Chain A
Amino acid sequence: MYGYYDPPFSVEQEGIAISVEKVGEQWVYRRTLGTDSVEKIILGGGKRFIINPVEPLNTPKEITPNLLIEFEKTLLLSGGAKRKIFLKFPIEIGVFIADKGDKNLQLLDVLSLARQKFTLYGEVSNGVICKHWKSQIYSISPSPNPLQEGVMELTLRNASSDWASISKAVFSAYGMKLYYAGDVFMRARMDILNRNTAETGFEVQHISGELKSSPLKDFKARKEAFGVYSLQKLGLVPLKFYMGWGF
């Protein structure tokens, strides 16, 4: 489903039906998912439509930019160690409209097949609301449904000298960089600073170059997805998340 489309087009997969048709002098965008349907009128021609995975923080309503991934089993990392693990994370599907050359990008619609649930990270008085997702820990990259879940390569670094017991990680959507081809991929890191605090962030380098030698997707270049959060013209928004209430 992911890719570039020139109107008119129609695409249907896993219960999602997206189409753009010409009705008279105008274009009509239609999308259905179960009982939920969206219809929008587009005035102006010469546009392209882009369907790609976006940050999983827009549906059912954008109330937080933070994603909390809870590990199914607690992970223990020795002091000073650095290890790489794989997790699954939820995907939302974004539909964008753009001029030729991907200019003047505008978000048209966001939908999700993933389960929606929120949680609080921290205290009731000053905690942070996060989108919640539960994932197993994988030593090699899993192969989830790319319309529902993506794969996160998470590098854990324990900068302290103590063992770290890790059961969750919180990420800020502002730093998320999603890449897609047959799958959806994201590369993140988590630095354990001390017994109770950690910092998470995303690797921003272009994946198509580096991952060509990666065992994940041999010689297959992924495309960088347009994000909903990266579209917003933001000032000094921290791209990292400081986990001050434990992990």
Chain B
Amino acid sequence: MITYIDFLDIGLPTSSGTVTLGSVLKFIFILSFSTILAKIISIYLRRSLKNRVSKDMGETIIKLLYYGILTIVFLSNLHLIGINPSGFLLAGGVAGIILGFASQNIVGNLVSGVFLMIERPIKIGDQVQINDVSGYVTDIRIISTHIRTFEGLLVRIPNQQVFTTNITNIVGHPVRRFEYTIRIRYSDDANAAIFLIKDLIDKEPFALLNPSPSVFVNDLADSSVNINVRIWAPVNEWFGIKTRILWNIKQTLEENGIEIPLPQRIVRIQTDSKKVPEELMPGKEIESVINYEERVLA
């Protein structure tokens, strides 16, 4: 008589039932498979996050995800090796609630950080304005975003604040517009001034042809005729052009006899021979000072 023994069905009694060799092997297989899967996901994420977030933060996200997958798979398959995970889950749940209350802000910042990475309103290297802070984004971390201000200061802003406030991305589009108001005298020829300004813009390489610049009389003000100049430029070049063209406009206009006027007010003095100032009339008391003490100081 041949007795056939199935090794996979050999059982070992435990507190939560019998554990067979087959179920242990199944547990090992699932764990190995999930490790490989987590590795593949990590490699894919490492590639896709390469230019989106800083290396440090990318690695943190990948590690969190990697160990998260392994923990979930491990806990959900503990019954295969005869361990009841409900005790872990209950303890974990209670601990989670306590930790959740204790670290509400941290979790808020963490979640905001994840959403910032998904929505990507800003990238590392962008010039941004967040609340009253303007500068370059140097790092987007899991909890906070780091800004190097134009003055060279490091400002750390919690991600929750970044996510819930208005963000102005200065370099979000390839081009941007800037403008000046150039004031000339009423006696100057505005058409000549417009021609000279347009010629200067035409000579500037980074002043874009399209969208086209516009130069026009915008206001007839108290002391001057105001000419509005609007120029589009590549977003990384606009500031240099802005400073360069303004001074060139000033010099060119002056060379052509067109001047920027100082604020002025015309005062007309009308003389009336019959009217004599009160204080000069002999013997007459000035009404405004009569009984001054009674009216004011009493």
Q: Could you tell me if B205 and A60 are in contact, using CB atoms closer than 8 angstroms?
A: yes
Contact A124 B234, CB 8 Å, known A117-B205, A118-B208, A119-B209: no
User: CA–CA, A129 to B208, complex, Å?
Assistant: 9
Q: Could you tell me if A116 and B205 are in contact, using CB atoms closer than 8 angstroms?
A: yes
Contact A120 B237, CB 8 Å, known A126-B174, A127-B175: no
Q: Could you tell me if A120 and B174 are in contact, using CB atoms closer than 8 angstroms?
A: yes
Task: Tell yes or no: B163 within 8 A of A by CB.
Answer: no
Choose one: B211, B232, B236; the contact of A63 (CB below 8 Å): B236
Q: What are the residues of chain B within 8 A of A120 when measuring CB–CB?
A: 174-175, 208, 210-211, 232
Q: Could you tell me if B208 and A63 are in contact, using CB atoms closer than 8 angstroms?
A: no
Task: Tell yes or no: A125 within 8 A of B by CB.
Answer: yes
Majority SS at the chain A contact face? loop
Task: Tell yes or no: B206 within 8 A of A by CB.
Answer: yes
Interface flags for A40-72 (1: CB within 8 Å of B; 0: not) read 000000000000000000001101000000000
Q: Contact residue range for chain B?
A: 10 to 19
Chain A residue total in the interface (Cβ 8 A): 16
User: CA–CA, A120 to B175, complex, Å?
Assistant: 8
User: CA–CA, A127 to B205, complex, Å?
Assistant: 18
Choose one: B173, B206, B210; the contact of A126 (CB below 8 Å): B173
Segment 82-136 of A: residues with Cβ below 8 Å from B: 116-121, 124-129, 132
User: CA–CA, A63 to B234, complex, Å?
Assistant: 9
CB-CB nearest in chain A for B204:
A117
Interface flags for A187-203 (1: CB within 8 Å of B; 0: not) read 00000000000000000
Q: How far is the CB of A224 from chain B (nearest CB, A)?
A: 29
B174, B175, B208, B232, most chain A CB atoms within 10 A: B174
Q: Could you tell me if A118 and B206 are in contact, using CB atoms closer than 8 angstroms?
A: yes
Interface flags for A214-235 (1: CB within 8 Å of B; 0: not) read 0000000000000000000000
Q: What are the residues of chain B within 8 A of A60 when measuring CB–CB?
A: 205
Q: What are the residues of chain A within 8 A of B209 when measuring CB–CB?
A: 117-119, 132
Q: Could you tell me if A118 and B174 are in contact, using CB atoms closer than 8 angstroms?
A: no
Q: Could you tell me if B210 and A128 are in contact, using CB atoms closer than 8 angstroms?
A: no
Q: Could you tell me if B205 and A129 are in contact, using CB atoms closer than 8 angstroms?
A: no
Q: How far is the CB of A168 from chain B (nearest CB, A)?
A: 10
Q: How far is the CB of A124 from chain B (nearest CB, A)?
A: 6
Q: What are the residues of chain B within 8 A of A117 when measuring CB–CB?
A: 205, 209
Interface flags for B218-247 (1: CB within 8 Å of A; 0: not) read 000000000000001010110000000000
Q: What are the residues of chain B within 8 A of A132 when measuring CB–CB?
A: 209
User: CA–CA, A118 to B211, complex, Å?
Assistant: 11
User: CA–CA, A119 to B206, complex, Å?
Assistant: 8
Q: Could you tell me if B237 and A124 are in contact, using CB atoms closer than 8 angstroms?
A: no
B175, B208, B210, B232, most chain A CB atoms within 10 A: B210
User: CA–CA, A72 to B104, complex, Å?
Assistant: 64
Interface flags for B187-219 (1: CB within 8 Å of A; 0: not) read 000000000000000000110111100000000
User: CA–CA, A124 to B206, complex, Å?
Assistant: 15
Q: How far is the CB of B208 from chain A (nearest CB, A)?
A: 5
Q: What are the residues of chain A within 8 A of B234 when measuring CB–CB?
A: 63, 118, 129
Interface flags for B152-175 (1: CB within 8 Å of A; 0: not) read 000000000000000000000111
User: CA–CA, A130 to B206, complex, Å?
Assistant: 10
User: CA–CA, A132 to B205, complex, Å?
Assistant: 9
Q: What are the residues of chain B within 8 A of A63 when measuring CB–CB?
A: 206, 234, 236-237
Q: Could you tell me if A118 and B173 are in contact, using CB atoms closer than 8 angstroms?
A: no
User: CA–CA, A132 to B208, complex, Å?
Assistant: 9
A residues at B contact (CB < 8 Å): 60-61, 63, 116-121, 124-129, 132
List the 4 closest pairs (A to B, CB-CB), nearest first: A116-B205, A119-B209, A119-B210, A129-B234
- Contact sample, A vs B, 5 pairs, CB 8 Å cutoff: A117-B209, A118-B206, A118-B208, A121-B210, A124-B174
Given contacts A116-B205, A120-B175, A124-B211, 6 further A-B pairs with CB under 8 A are A60-B205, A63-B234, A118-B234, A119-B209, A124-B175, A127-B175
